């Protein structure tokens, strides 16, 4: 017999879940969203992070004070790992060449994490993939570990098949497409797209290898996706991993209003009211939003080409440039020349809020999965320009499976530690042509817009009450309650 609602809520209040987000905005923001979804069901939820990262969450946590969410701070060993002071997040590193030192600091957090779990005795751990030692802690204390990957199931499946079958080993060109076997559909990629390529000069191979071992001690996967957008790959990933999978996204859709969307992530570098006022002055679907994420480090020459291309397009645009980059005189001059139709933001911007605005009709993006989902949720078509990691796989999914945009980026991306050597990969003429095409009214673009609007409706239905993602959050919690009850009764639970 199913428990009644009151009994279920009472049981959920007795459940305690620890969340370990990776120290990078693209990982931390969706993990806070996951914490919110779980806590909104009455589950005691604890976020384990460092003081600097906590400061970025403070406004959002204050707004969520009515939910059972607590924070446990960790001391980040910057000096011991050879990092400058206050480098507690991947986007705060002076150079991607310091990524190996950052990974060393992550691994040095293990004893503190162990102490917290021992003291508070949570019933489960939800861990970012990039914190592999949580698998050892979960095994030590006999509790389930669930992993959060932060990307699409499509990309996870492609990466798994490439690793398993190694189809690239017989291909003699970095740019010649090859078929990836073992997938539900024919998928072609190139060696120049493979994620390992972009990190080969920063010494992260050993760190990445630990992820694979941690997966063996993982109960299941929480995915920031929704079943309807990639049903074949949700099911396929469940089969190849041999683990449970709960697609609960788009998790950012938990934000109920513009204030909530504005407070996701860092403090905005532009006055939010000013940003909204500028967008309010534009016609519907007339502005192209340009942003390449919190970790992009384009060469100055490439930034200039982007700016001049946007200027030449005659389109209205809102361009976000990562803090510390694009400070040259050419970018400043551009801002002055196009201030009537262009807004340039140096630093952090409230992306979800911007994409949701009716004036925004296109998104030039690096295809980080958070950005792809936010575009889909907002019904905004994309110009894809992947840069590193699994972003090329995400772009392929957007272009060939969803068909909700078109590409502009080069054949390969930016290798970490060598970004400045890349120089100009995409010239101003291509930027201008892509912006003009997307913001035009051709039949092909109208079809793209219709497809992304349909996906937006599916995403909204998935997170609404009774939708697939909404139901999966409840199933996740019920599974964790079941495991807790079995462990309390001394019954074995497989794959902890």
Predicted pLDDT at 280: 96
Predicted pLDDT at 257: 54
CA distance 267 to 57: 9
Predicted pLDDT at 254: 54
Determine the CATH number of domain 5-248+464-488.
3.40.50.2000
Kindly name the residue from 16, 27, 149, 236 that is annotated as catalytic: 27
The tens-digit pLDDT sequence of the chain (496 residues) is: 455 565 566 677 789 999 999 999 999 999 999 999 999 999 999 999 999 999 989 889 999 999 999 999 999 999 999 999 889 999 999 999 999 999 999 999 999 999 999 999 999 999 999 999 999 999 999 999 999 999 999 999 999 999 999 999 999 999 999 999 999 999 999 999 999 988 988 889 899 999 989 998 899 999 999 999 999 999 999 999 999 999 999 998 755 555 555 555 555 556 788 899 999 999 999 999 999 999 988 998 999 999 999 999 999 999 999 877 766 656 777 767 877 899 998 888 999 999 999 999 999 999 999 999 999 999 999 999 999 999 999 999 999 999 999 999 878 899 998 988 889 999 999 999 999 999 998 999 999 999 999 999 999 999 999 999 999 999 999 999 999 999 998 887 765 6
Q: Which residues contact 302 (CB under 8 A, 6 or more apart)?
A: 422, 423, 424, 425, 426
User: Which CATH topology does 261-459 take?
Assistant: Rossmann fold (3.40.50)
Which is nearest to 88 in space by CA: 320, 326, 266, 270? 266
- Alpha helices of 263-327 — where are they, by DSSP H? 272-280, 300-313
List C-alpha distances in Å: 55 to 62, 72, 86, 408.
Answer: 11, 13, 12, 36
Predicted pLDDT at 353: 94
Residue 474 among the catalytic residues: no
Which is nearest to 137 in space by CA: 78, 74, 214? 214
Residue 9 among the catalytic residues: no
DSSP string, 28-45: HHHHHHHHHHHHTTT-EE
List C-alpha distances in Å: 330 to 200, 301, 308, 319, 415.
Answer: 32, 10, 9, 14, 25
Coil vs helix vs strand at 195: helix
Kindly name the residue from 33, 91, 123, 128 that is annotated as catalytic: 128
Where in the chain are the domains? 5-248+464-488, 261-459
Predicted pLDDT at 450: 98
- Residue 407: strand pairing partners: 384
Domains 5-248+464-488 and 261-459 share a fold: yes
């Amino acid at each position: 017999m199913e428990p009644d609602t009151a009994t279920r809520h009472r049981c959920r209040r007795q459940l305690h879940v620890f969340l370990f987000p990776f120290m990078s905005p693209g990982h931390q923001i969706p993990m806070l969203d996951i914490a919110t979804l779980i806590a909104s069901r009455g589950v005691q939820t604890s976020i384990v992070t460092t003081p600097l990262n906590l400061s970025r969450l403070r406004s959002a946590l204050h707004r969520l004070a009515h939910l059972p969410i607590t924070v446990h701070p960790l001391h980040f060993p910057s000096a011991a790992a050879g990092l400058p002071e206050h480098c507690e997040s991947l986007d705060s590193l002076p150079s991607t060449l310091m990524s190996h030192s950052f990974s060393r600091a992550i691994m040095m957090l293990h004893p503190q994490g162990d102490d917290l779990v021992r003291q508070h005795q949570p019933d489960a751990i939800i861990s970012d993939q990039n914190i592999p030692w949580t698998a050892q802690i979960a095994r030590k204390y006999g509790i389930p570990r669930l992993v959060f990957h932060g990307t699409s199931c499509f990309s996870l499946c492609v990466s798994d098949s490439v690793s398993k079958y190694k189809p690239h080993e017989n291909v003699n060109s970095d740019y010649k497409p090859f078929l990836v076997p073992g997938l539900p559909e024919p998928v072609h990629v190139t060696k120049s797209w493979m994620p390992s390529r972009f990190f080969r000069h920063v010494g992260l191979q050993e760190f990445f290898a630990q992820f694979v071992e941690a997966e063996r001690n993982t109960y299941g996967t929480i995915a920031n996706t929704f079943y309807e957008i990639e049903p074949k790959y949700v099911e396929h990933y469940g089969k190849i991993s041999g683990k449970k999978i709960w697609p609960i996204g788009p998790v950012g859709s938990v934000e109920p209003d513009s204030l909530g969307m504005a407070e996701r992530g860092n403090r905005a570098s532009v006055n939010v009211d000013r940003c909204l006022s500028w967008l309010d002055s534009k016609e519907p679907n007339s502005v192209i939003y340009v942003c390449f994420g919190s970790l992009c480090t384009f060469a100055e020459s490439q930034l200039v080409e982007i700016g001049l291309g946007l200027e030449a397009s005659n389109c209205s645009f809102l361009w976000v440039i990562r803090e510390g980059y694009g400070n040259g005189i050419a970018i400043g001059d551009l801002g002055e020349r196009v201030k009537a139709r262009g807004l340039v933001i140096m630093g952090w911007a409230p992306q979800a809020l911007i994409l949701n605005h009716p004036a925004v009709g296109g998104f030039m993006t690096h295809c980080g999965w958070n950005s792809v989902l936010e575009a889909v949720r907002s019904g905004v078509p994309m110009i894809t320009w992947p840069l590193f990691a699994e972003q090329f796989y995400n772009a392929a999914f957007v272009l060939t499976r969803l068909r909700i945009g078109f590409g502009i980026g080069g054949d390969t991306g930016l290798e970490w530690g060598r970004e400045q050597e890349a120089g100009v990969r995409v010239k101003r003429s291509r930027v201008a042509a892509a912006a003009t095409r997307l913001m035009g009214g051709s039949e092909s673009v109208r079809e793209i817009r219709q497809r992304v609007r349909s996906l937006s409706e599916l995403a909204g239905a998935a997170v609404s009450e009774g939708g697939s993602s909404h139901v999966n959050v409840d199933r996740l919690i019920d599974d964790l309650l079941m495991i807790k009850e079995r462990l309390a009764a001394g019954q074995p639970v497989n794959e902890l």
